[in-house]
Amino acid sequence: MKNLAVACLLLFSLNQDIPAGTPFTGRWVVRADNGDGTFRETVLALDQRGSTLTGRIINPTNEQPIVDGVVTGDNATFAVVTGRPPNQRRAEYRATRREISLEVAVTRPGQKPQSMIATRGPANAGDAPARIEPPALHRVPDNGLARTPPMGWNSWNHFRGRIDDATVRAIADAMVSSGMKAAGYTYVNIDDTWEAGRDTSGRIQTNRKFPEMKALADYIHGKGLKLGIYSSPGPRTCAGYEGSYGHEEQDARTYAAWGVDYLKYDWCGAARLYKDDEMQAVYQKMGDALRASGREIVYSLCQYGRNEVWTWGPQVGGHLWRTTGDISDSWESMTRIGFGQDALAPHAGPGHWNDPDMLEIGNGGMTNTEYRTHMSLWAILAAPLLAGNDVRNMSPETVAILTNREVIAIDQDSLGTQGRRVRTVGETEIWDRPLANGAHAVGVFNRGQAASRVNVRWSELGLEKNVRRVRDVWSQRDVERAGADYDVEIEPHGVVLLRLDR
Ligand code: GLA
């Protein structure tokens, strides 16, 4: 009798799960193998009413509604539209009902069709965890780190998810042998995709690519370098890996125990639980946790410059904050970001820096002239210098660009004042950065396709005639000059970077 009741209950609940005649209704889970012992889960939350299909696709960091859903027998078609016109993209889905699974084929414009298997998941599959209320605001005290913009390397721009322990060690070796370390590059930062899940006590685990983070930290420290790591305030990172949500203090303690010296904390998955105007409180939580860990850890905020982070970044203990979306290895992306930083200059200073994103120098998408412009602009901007290339394989030109001591000295100047645009003439721009001891760095940039002549007047930099020495820091020559100005020809997409001493 009792068994019958259980069986009835089971049947009833199954029936609830798969209402008769609506076989597509439910949560369907696609597990993509990341190849490191972790899986990326995407959930199709579908609702069939007759021949109409509605629902959402739940990714680790966002959800998208489905449109134009039609069921015909065992087949369903629907689409997902992302982006805004004119950059709208439509992915077409075809799902076929098999015995206990869905066979799903996705066609995206310009890409080969992708097929996957979705299996039925629990009714809450893909749901965000319960929301934890953000804390009340207070000021996290300055811990004295990052008096000059952090310098180092980060895995993301070049390696994306193809980063592992052996590669990071080889990068650390190459940072020493190439002269990068001697030039000031210190932090070796592992970006997203090192994470696995958590053990029963909630402690974050590394995936197969990183067998022992403490041993890796010891290796990096043994080279006189420092180790950086990455996480998210959300349940999931941008690449869909385990985030720090609800485990902030525990993770900060784990990082400290491993010997981590730098944390990049990336918003992504937090967007499912918090609004932009809650970012400050959410970032403050990890700021407090890092301070409480007892280790000196640089705190890098990565939330793409939203919610005017420069106005509150230092208050949450942040040493640097991204000011824009992701850079890519193109002239268009680099210049859009770099030349767009002018108005943020007042917010930078020792211990708290605007971060226009990592360097693309040496990744191959720009010419060496353009990479010199990239490096010069970042130096004028007092930007963090995080190389984003494969430092194991660098051309001599790439090494020369990344390790030019005089350019780095501009970036690392102790005054910590971010440079500003002085004047635009056609497609050329003059930028000025005041340096310690009354010196100035002046960048004359040519954004155009043709060579251009520019006349720089010392008076427009507020210097009149008291300039003692003018140094071209790329050609590493003192410039012959007479009078109160400098006439210079700039190659297309090029720069002349001057240091003026008084
Ligand atoms: C975001 C960040 C990038 C990188 C990736 C990793 O896009 O802005 O810099 O960290 O996430 O998934």
Cα separation, 176 vs 155, whole angstroms: 16
CATH fold of 151-411, please? TIM Barrel (3.20.20)
Residue 13 in this model has a pLDDT that exceeds 50 = no
| Atom 3 in ligand 1: residue holding the nearest Cα | 326
Query: 230 near 191, Cβ under 8 Å?
Result: yes
Residue boundaries of the structural domains of the chain: 9-120, 151-411, 420-501
- Mapping DSSP onto H, E and C, the string for 89-125 reads EEEEEEEEECCCEEEEEEECCCCCCEEEEEEECCCCC
Tell me, what's the pLDDT at 20? 59
**Amino acid 19: pLDDT:** 52
Ligand 1 center from residue 472 Cα (angstroms): 35
pLDDT digits (tens, 9 = 90+) for 248-267: 999 999 999 999 999 999 99
Cα 386 to its chain centre, rounded Å, is 11
Q: Is 36 a catalytic residue?
A: no
Q: pLDDT per residue over 156-172, tens digit each?
A: 999 999 999 999 999 99
Active site residue 478: no
pLDDT greater than 80 at residue 14: no
The CATH superfamily of 420-501 is Golgi alpha-mannosidase II (2.60.40.1180)
**Over the stretch 104-161, which tens digit does the pLDDT of each residue have?**
999 999 999 999 999 999 999 999 999 999 999 999 999 999 999 999 999 999 999 9
The percent of residues above 90 in pLDDT, for the chain, comes to: 92
The ligand 1 atom at the shortest distance from the C-alpha of residue 193 is 12
- Indicate if the pLDDT at residue 220 is higher than 90: yes
pTM above 0.85, yes or no: yes
Mean pLDDT, range 404-433, rounded to an integer: 98
Concatenate the DSSP letters of all residues of 343-363 into one string. Answer: GGGGG-BTTBEEE-----TTS
Whole-angstrom distance, CA of residue 372 vs CA of residue 366:
10
- Residue 355 near ligand 1, beta carbon < 6 Å: no
Q: Is the CB of 195 under 6 A from ligand 1?
A: no
Q: Which residue has the higher pLDDT, 272 or 3?
A: 272
Contact 354, 341 (CB under 8 A): yes
Catalytic residue (one of 47, 173, 326, 342): 326
Would you state the structure tokens that stand for residue 389, as one six-digit string? 């290339």
Q: What is the mean pLDDT of residues 52-79?
A: 97
Structure tokens at 86: 């004119």
Which of 165, 266, 411, 432 is flagged as catalytic?
266
- 238 touches ligand 1 (CB under 6 Å): yes
Q: Which residues of 174-212 are buried (b: 16+ CB within 10 A; e: fewer)?
A: bbeebebbebbbbbbbbbbbbbbeeeeeeebbbbebbee
Q: For residue 357, which atom of ligand 1 is closest to its CA?
A: 9
Pairing of strands 298-302, 320-322: parallel
Atom of ligand 1 nearest to the CA of 358: 9
Share of the chain above pLDDT 70, in %: 95
Residue nearest to atom 4 of ligand 1 (CA): 156
* Rounded distance between C-alpha atoms, residue 208 and residue 61, angstroms: 23
d(CA 94, CA 79): 9
